[in-house]
């Protein structure tokens, strides 16, 4: 009897040790798995954060710089508060974080000369001034201000919203300020989506539309950042935007604060859009000098403030 009870107690003891061992193994496995999942989640969070930084990479221009992060906070507040376009804080942020200076190297590794076409021929006749100042939006690679820069020693400000096109533009090493940003149709800075449309080489080509996130700045704010409010030539190469946006861009310009001599802009082949644009600009002192059509999609209209006769 005593021996049987002792054997039972011994069995219970061994069973308890076995159960304790199993619980210990289970608990260890659970903790290890939890740590692994936590580590993976942290990795995914970091990856998602990196993807976010990439998707808005041109918003935070130089990550890791405390000063620029502080400026981004300021810019977010300025966007939120619909800041006045002459706000000193806004001008400082644009100047220090969004404007890249002109190329100052001895070599000017421009891969090609300025394009030879009808618009360049018009510029040769119309803009004979040496060392003038231009503003071009959307700059891209088909930049018609390149003639003024190479032959007339002009400088200016090139604004390109597409980050890929902007990278290619910077490789041109232009003797002009550049900015990877968008031009506002509103009188205040804002962070929004920009819709770009392309048609290929003709109207029968498939229409492609894409959206990009971009920081928008008023023209006056950008010009104040580079200390140039006298613009000899304003080029709005905005064929990827709608005709309404072209008109709205012009309406958003504060002509009382910016002195502009010549305006070149592109519109689609719609007589109504052309007439509306011409009527608006004539009412503020600009006359249509010439109209250029190089394809079946768009027209280039050139207006001058101090010239009555056409070309």
Question: What pLDDT does residue 120 have?
Answer: 82
Asked if the structure places residue 290 within a domain, the reply is yes
| Tokens linked to 185 | 């149709």
Within the chain, what is the greatest distance between any pair of CA atoms?
Answer: 128
- pLDDT at residue 219, as a whole number: 98
Containing structural domain, residue 73: 66-304
Which of 265, 263, 311 has its CA nearest to residue 286? 263
Strands (DSSP E) along the chain, which ranges? 99-100, 133-137, 155-159, 177-179, 182-183, 190-198, 208-217, 230-236, 259-268, 287-292, 298-304
Question: Which residues in the chain come in under a pLDDT of 70?
Answer: 1-68, 106-116, 140-141, 197-208, 239-243, 269-271, 294-296, 308-311
Is residue 161 packed enough to be buried (19+ CB in 10 Å), middle (13-18) or exposed (0-12)? buried
What pLDDT shows up at residue 57? 37
pLDDT digits (tens, 9 = 90+) for 58-78: 444 543 456 667 888 999 999
The answer to whether residue 175 is domain-embedded is yes
Query: Can you give the pLDDT at residue 49?
Result: 30
Half-sphere exposure of 173 (CA within 13 A, CB side): 10
pTM for this predicted structure? 0.75
Question: What are residue 260's phi and psi, to 5 degrees?
Answer: -115, 130
Domain annotation covers residue 147: yes
Calpha distance 47→148 (Å, rounded) = 45
pLDDT of residue 108: 53
Q: Would strands 155-159 and 177-179 be described as parallel, antiparallel, or unpaired?
A: parallel
Q: Give the pLDDT score at 89.
A: 96
Phi, psi torsion values for 21, nearest 5 degrees: -65, -45
pLDDT of residue 117: 72
d(CA 281, CA 210): 30
Give yes or no for a contact between 226 and 160, defined as CB atoms under 8 angstroms apart. Answer: no
Tell whether 52 is covered by a domain.
no
At residue 148, what are phi and psi to the nearest 5 degrees?
Answer: -65, -35
Domain count, the chain: 1
Establish if 106 belongs to a structural domain: yes
* Alpha-carbon gap, residue 151 to 5, rounded angstroms: 111
Residue 280's CATH number:
3.40.50.150
Residue 32 domain-assigned? no
Q: Is residue 181 part of a domain?
A: yes
Give 115-151 pLDDT, tens digit per residue. Answer: 567 888 888 889 999 999 999 998 766 787 998 999 9
Q: Assess if residue 143 is contained within a domain.
A: yes
């Amino acid at each position: 009897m005593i021996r049987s009870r002792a054997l039972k107690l011994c069995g219970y003891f061994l069973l308890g040790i076995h159960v304790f061992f199993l619980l210990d193994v289970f608990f260890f496995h659970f903790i290890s798995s939890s740590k692994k999942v936590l580590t993976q989640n942290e990795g995914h969070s970091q990856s998602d954060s990196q993807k976010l930084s990439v998707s808005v990479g041109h918003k935070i221009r130089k990550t890791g710089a405390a000063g620029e992060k502080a400026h981004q906070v300021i810019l977010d507040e300025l966007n939120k508060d619909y800041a006045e376009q002459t706000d000193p804080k806004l001008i400082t942020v644009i100047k220090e974080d969004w404007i890249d200076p002109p190329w100052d190297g001895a070599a000017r590794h421009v891969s090609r000369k300025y394009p030879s076409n009808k618009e360049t021929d018009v510029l040769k006749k119309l803009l004979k001034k040496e060392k003038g100042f231009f503003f071009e939006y959307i700059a891209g690679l088909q930049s018609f201000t390149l003639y003024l820069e190479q032959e007339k020693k002009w400088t200016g400000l090139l604004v390109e919203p597409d980050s890929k096109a902007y990278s290619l533009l910077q490789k041109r090493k232009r003797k002009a300020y550049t900015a990877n940003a968008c031009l506002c149709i509103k009188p205040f800075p804002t962070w929004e989506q920009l819709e770009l449309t392309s048609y290929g080489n003709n109207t029968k080509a498939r229409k492609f539309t894409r959206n990009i996130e971009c920081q928008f700045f008023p023209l006056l704010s950008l010009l104040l950042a580079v200390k140039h409010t006298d613009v000899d030539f304003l080029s709005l190469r905005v064929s990827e935007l709608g005709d309404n946006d072209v008109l709205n861009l012009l309406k958003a310009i504060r002509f009382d604060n910016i002195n502009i001599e010549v305006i070149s802009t592109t519109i689609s082949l719609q007589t109504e859009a052309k007439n509306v644009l011409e009527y608006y600009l004539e009412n503020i002192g600009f006359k249509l000098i010439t109209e250029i059509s190089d394809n079946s999609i768009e027209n280039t209209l050139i207006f001058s403030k101090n010239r009555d006769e056409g070309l």
